[in-house]
Amino acid sequence: MKKDPWFRNHLIRDAIYHAIYDRMRVDDSIYLMGEGSHMKIHFDCPAIEKEFPERVITLPISEDANTNFALGMALAGVKPIVDVITADFLYRTMDSICNTVAKTNFVSEPRTIVIRAEFMTAGPTTGQRPEALFTHIPGLNVVIPSNPVDARGLMDAALKEKGCTLFFEDRMIEDATTRKEDMDEGELESIPLGKAKIIRMGTQTASGSIHRLLTVLSYGITLRMLELMLEKEDLALDYELIDLRSIYPVDWETIFDSVSRTDSLLIVEPDVMYSGVGAEIAAQVAERGAEVRRLGAPRMTIPASRSLHGLMLPSEDEIVKMVEEMSG
């Protein structure tokens, strides 16, 4: 994990802007707005600055007002993409998003709104992960891609989706961990919201030995961690690995189908486990009689030290030990 809180996964960010640019070319109702929007596209996607300057709006430093403003534009027929920068600033938007935007989907015709935010590694007030809070609110979608191809496809889908989508970018994912097959190349393939991705199917054999098959599920930075450590040659394990991609809606069909084959599920999440995304999935899977274990962050304030912040994620030793216990 990078220690610099301003580190950006350029591959994922480029893919997001690629999708936005492609949609802006065919849909003139899409607008980019937020604090410093002009500055961000100047450095991240100058093509948008060059071709659609009138559809990029820099707003005042008032996150709650900005998301309310976006709703007003959506009611007028615009499809706004609101950038609140860091995910921690979403706490300032809870009333406008949860009490106004989400309710509009039910009392009026659903409108397309995308709210972008980034997870950082910068201490107690600029390093939080509030994604689970928004899954509780009817009318909101929550998306967290783990690679460039998914980022591009999910953003394309979000800009076509009726309703509000919170689209998170995980800065903790390093460019160096991106596999060749997950690079943003070729034709755009839109990815429906609520469709998980099976990264690896179980084979019932691993390194010549028979093992109990295990379903492992994650998203974001911990999904990338799992891919790297479980593929190590010295791990004789058999498992199925699922990337949620959307934490709401959840692809229950894929999860239940995998667990029906393995009868066991390990959830590894980057967020606080208490009342988190993994807790809901664990409850529903356990109700069907399968064994479920979880690893995630403790319920505590994020340390100011970025090194200590990194320790809030499950360690490689913890994950490997848990996988070996469940698959042995």
Best CATH choice for the domain 10-182 from the list 1.10.1040.10, 3.40.50.140, 3.40.50.970, 3.40.50.1370: 3.40.50.970
Cα end-to-end span (Å), the chain: 30
Query: Which residue, chain included where needed, has tokens 């040659």?
Result: 233
Query: Which residues belong to CATH 3.40.50.970 in the chain?
Result: 10-182
Q: CA angle, 20 as apex, 19 and 22 as ends, to 5°? A: 65
The whole-number pLDDT of residue 206 equals 47
Dist CA 234 CA 220 (whole Å)? 25
Q: How far is CA 64 from each of CA 96, 102, 153, 292, rounded to the nearest angstrom? A: 6, 14, 28, 38
Half-sphere exposure of 70 (CA within 13 A, CB side): 38
Per-residue pLDDT of the chain (328 residues), as tens digits, is 444 444 567 899 999 999 999 999 999 999 999 998 988 888 889 999 999 999 999 999 999 999 999 999 999 999 999 999 999 999 999 999 999 999 998 898 889 999 999 998 777 888 899 999 999 999 999 999 999 999 999 999 999 999 999 999 998 898 888 887 788 667 778 999 999 999 988 776 444 455 678 999 999 999 999 988 887 756 667 889 999 999 999 999 999 999 999 999 999 999 999 999 999 999 999 999 999 999 999 999 888 887 788 788 999 889 988 988 887 6
Query: Which residues belong to CATH 3.40.50.920 in the chain?
Result: 197-327
C-alpha R_g of the chain: 20
Whether the CB-CB separation of 242 and 215 falls below 8 Å is answered with yes
Strands 112-119, 163-170: pairing is parallel
Question: Per-residue DSSP letters for 175-188?
Answer: GGG--GGGSS-SS-
Q: Tokens representing 326? A: 């469940």
- At residue 72, what is the residue type? G
Q: Count CB neighbours of 269 within 10 A.
A: 29
> Residue 36 in 3-state DSSP?
coil
Per the omega criterion (within 30 degrees of 0), is the bond before 60 cis?
A: no
| Biggest alpha carbon–alpha carbon distance for the chain | 62
Yes or no: domain 197-327 corresponds to CATH 3.40.50.920 = yes
Residue 174, classified by CB atoms within 10 Å of its CB into exposed (0-12), middle (13-18) or buried (19+), is: middle
